[in-house]
């Protein structure tokens, strides 16, 4: 099966549920320039990824070559996703690809996407229709096949065919198109907006009228890709509908160094506030070399009076090992109490069906020790399923309190430098506003990936935000400056720290 899928206008959150399902099935993903690269995360491990993007004047592949590639992959019996920007059938040449598949006798499905002609104006605060302002909208290409030698767009007819005109790929010909529309009867005072990279943090909007929009776009150095909206609906933007560009982290570029499997929560919250997120996983979570200590502890679960979890990873790994032995939470003795180092870990424990007895007010090992020491630990067996390498202060202090502590490695974190060169390029080019660290290990591995001196140099031109004092202390110990430190040592606290940092900077500049 070949799926022709619209990836949407750029915001990965606007991708469809069906599109995700098809991506997870695909043996090969053929994607273009305007398809959000973040969507490749949905491809299954081992899936072939083929970039066929076209840039103005510099196509990677011709359309005919792309058609032939799809036929070749489909003919080899592979499940293929053809991931296209926007919607496949709205100026996306999806019809040409579908016809090629029909001719080759190959099965295909079309999965529509949110088109940029609707989404970009919406994110810029412009509804393309609005009662008493616009009762119709026309979608028109502003960039036709240059080999035709003539134009199939009848601007005189289109000019008054709908209250709102939405032009795709017309920025390069804006002067000529504006003149055509005015000559056809549109008022030179008709409001116009050009929205570049709509729905993503690089979004920029330039407004004007048919009389001056071409000059304004040149002055603003606004380049393709952009959507142009012509009509009175553009004026609604000034009524406060430009919600997207008002978000507190709009236009900020933030690096998340958490392991890829755990990065989602932090990335989603930063993106929700308007940031563009680059994921640079400095840690890879994997099974420990030896499950022996954990397996022994699972065999003796009845003897433990406390289970102490110091991370979500520890919870997931412990449950996974229980399942490996054909067990579930019924294996945990009813008398056993459960402690979690913070709310995220506690939430995970409760999601799987265990009640949490202890969560410290301050989310770090020292605070958890204080709470546990208030209980009678003398003679109690305490199981801590955790990372193979971690701070030893918790088990040491619990032993001093009289507990019999079993530390069982449930997983291990290994350094990862995936994407190192790309991140270095972005930092060198000043394309990063903030790098976040969620644990001391992320700092250690970041420094390990670049070297201490180089890491310090690369981060000298950007802000650094840490999840708490322990992580901040590790960063400073490696010569890194720390600009923000979460008051609450959670992902939410880190997001708040980043938001406050940039709010303070904007206030200082009087923005």
Between the ranges 32-36, 209-213, 390-394, where is the mean pLDDT highest? 209-213
Classify residue 44 by its DSSP letter: P
In this prediction, residue 415 carries a pLDDT of: 78
Nearest to 33 by CA among 169, 151, 220: 169
pLDDT above 70: residue 451: yes
In this prediction, residue 311 carries a pLDDT of: 87
Pairing of strands 108-111, 2-6: parallel
State the catalytic residue, choosing from 11, 23, 32, 163. Answer: 32
Secondary structure of 384-408 as H, E, C letters: EEEECCCCCHHHHHHHHCCCEEEEE
Fold classified for 253-282+416-509: Rossmann fold (3.40.50)
Question: Omega into 33 within 30° of 0, i.e. cis?
Answer: no
Burial of 189 from C-beta contacts in 10 A (0-12 / 13-18 / 19+): exposed
377 confidence band (pLDDT: 50, 70, 90): confident
In this prediction, residue 475 carries a pLDDT of: 96
More confident residue, 366 or 83: 83
31's tokens: 């994607």
State the catalytic residue, choosing from 169, 388, 483, 491. Answer: 169
Return the H-helix or E-strand segment holding 499: helix 491-509
pLDDT above 60: residue 380: yes
In this prediction, residue 195 carries a pLDDT of: 97
Q: In which residue are the tokens 């096949």 written?
A: 145
Q: Would 253-282+416-509 and 286-414 be classified into the same CATH topology?
A: yes
Please state the length of the chain. Answer: 511
CA distance linking residue 307 with residue 311, whole number of Å: 12
Pairing of strands 226-230, 191-196: antiparallel
145 confidence band (pLDDT: 50, 70, 90): low
CA distance linking residue 475 with residue 465, whole number of Å: 10
pLDDT above 60: residue 150: no
The helices-and-strands tally (H runs, E runs) of the chain is: 18, 22
pTM: 0.70
Number of Cα atoms under 13 Å in the Cβ half of residue 296: 8
* Count of beta carbons in the 10 Å neighbourhood of residue 290: 11
432's tokens: 């990063």
CA distance linking residue 511 with residue 24, whole number of Å: 44
500's tokens: 């406050």
101's tokens: 């598949």
Angle at 98 between CA 94 and CA 100, to 5 degrees: 120
In this predicted structure, which of 110-119, 143-152, 263-272, 300-309 has the lowest mean pLDDT?
143-152
pLDDT above 70: residue 511: no
The yes-or-no answer on residue 508 being catalytic is: no
In this prediction, residue 264 carries a pLDDT of: 75
Sign of CA dihedral 216, 220, 224, 226: negative
The yes-or-no answer on residue 1 being catalytic is: no
CA distance linking residue 152 with residue 456, whole number of Å: 57
Sign of CA dihedral 264, 268, 269, 271: positive
In this prediction, residue 55 carries a pLDDT of: 60
pLDDT over 90, % of the chain: 66
* pLDDT tens-digit series, residues 74-122: 999 999 999 999 999 999 899 999 999 999 999 999 999 999 999 999 9
Provide the mean pLDDT of the chain.
Answer: 90
Angle at 197 between CA 141 and CA 429, to 5 degrees: 140
Fold classified for 2-114: Cobalt-precorrin-4 Transmethylase; domain 1 (3.40.1010)
263 confidence band (pLDDT: 50, 70, 90): low
State the catalytic residue, choosing from 27, 54, 295, 357. Answer: 54
507's tokens: 């206030």
The yes-or-no answer on residue 491 being catalytic is: no
477's tokens: 């110990």
- In the chain, where the domains are located: 2-114, 118-241, 253-282+416-509, 286-414
508 confidence band (pLDDT: 50, 70, 90): confident
pLDDT above 80: residue 369: no
Strand spans (E) along 120-225:
137-141, 164-168, 191-196, 204-209
For the domain bounded by 286-414, which CATH number is listed? 3.40.50.10090
CA distance linking residue 466 with residue 487, whole number of Å: 10
* pLDDT tens-digit series, residues 317-337: 999 999 999 998 889 988 899
CA distance linking residue 433 with residue 410, whole number of Å: 35
215's tokens: 């000059």
Fold classified for 118-241: 3.30.950
CA distance linking residue 422 with residue 431, whole number of Å: 11
Sign of CA dihedral 460, 465, 469, 474: negative
């Amino acid at each position: 099966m070949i799926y022709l899928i619209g990836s949407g206008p750029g915001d990965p959150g606007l991708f469809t549920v069906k599109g995700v399902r098809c991506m997870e099935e695909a043996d090969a993903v053929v994607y273009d320039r305007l398809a959000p690269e973040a969507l490749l995360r949905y491809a299954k491990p081992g899936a072939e990824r083929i970039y066929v993007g076209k840039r103005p004047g510099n196509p990677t592949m011709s359309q005919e070559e792309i058609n032939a590639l799809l036929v070749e992959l489909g003919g080899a019996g592979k499940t293929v996703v053809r991931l296209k920007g926007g919607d496949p059938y709205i100026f996306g040449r999806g019809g040409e690809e579908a016809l090629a598949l029909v001719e080759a006798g190959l099965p295909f499905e079309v999965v529509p996407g949110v088109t940029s002609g609707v989404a970009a104006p919406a994110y810029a605060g412009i509804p393309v229709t609005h009662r008493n302002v616009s009762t119709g909208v026309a979608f028109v290409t502003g960039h036709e096949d240059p080999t035709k030698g003539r134009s199939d767009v009848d601007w005189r007819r289109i000019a008054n065919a709908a209250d709102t005109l939405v032009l795709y790929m017309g920025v390069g010909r804006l002067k000529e198109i504006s003149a055509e529309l005015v000559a056809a009867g549109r008022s030179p005072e008709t409001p116009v907006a050009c929205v570049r990279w709509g729905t993503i943090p690089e979004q920029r909007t330039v407004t004007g009228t048919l009389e001056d929009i071409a000059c304004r776009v040149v002055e603003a150095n606004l380049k393709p890709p952009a959507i142009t909206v012509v009509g009175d609906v553009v004026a609604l933007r000034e009524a406060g509908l430009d919600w997207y560009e008002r978000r507190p982290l709009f236009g900020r570029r933030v690096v998340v160094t958490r392991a890829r499997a755990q990065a989602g929560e932090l990335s989603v919250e930063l993106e929700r506030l308007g940031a563009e997120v680059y994921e640079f996983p400095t840690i890879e979570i994997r099974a420990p070399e030896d499950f022996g200590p954990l397996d022994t502890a699972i065999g003796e679960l009845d003897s433990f009076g406390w289970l102490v979890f110091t991370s979500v990873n520890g919870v997931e790994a412990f449950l996974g090992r229980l399942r490996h032995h054909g067990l579930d939470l019924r294996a945990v003795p009813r008398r056993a109490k459960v402690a979690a180092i913070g709310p995220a870990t506690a939430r995970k424990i409760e999601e799987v069906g265990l009640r949490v007895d202890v969560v410290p007010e301050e989310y770090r090992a020292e605070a958890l020790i204080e709470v546990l020491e208030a209980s009678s630990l003398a003679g109690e067996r305490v199981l801590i399923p955790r990372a193979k390498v971690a701070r030893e202060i918790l088990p040491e202090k619990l032993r001093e309190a009289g507990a019999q502590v079993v530390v069982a490695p449930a997983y291990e974190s290994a350094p990862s430098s995936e994407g190192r060169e790309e991140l270095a390029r972005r930092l060198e080019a000043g394309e990063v506003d903030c790098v976040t660290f969620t644990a001391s290990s992320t700092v250690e591995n970041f420094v390990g990936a670049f070297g201490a001196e180089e890491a310090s140099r690369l981060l000298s031109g950007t802000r650094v935000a840490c999840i708490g004092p322990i992580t901040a202390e590790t960063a400073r110990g490696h010569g890194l400056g720390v600009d923000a430190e979460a008051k609450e040592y959670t992902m939410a606290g880190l997001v708040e720290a980043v938001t406050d940092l940039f709010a303070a900077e904007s206030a200082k500049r009087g923005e």
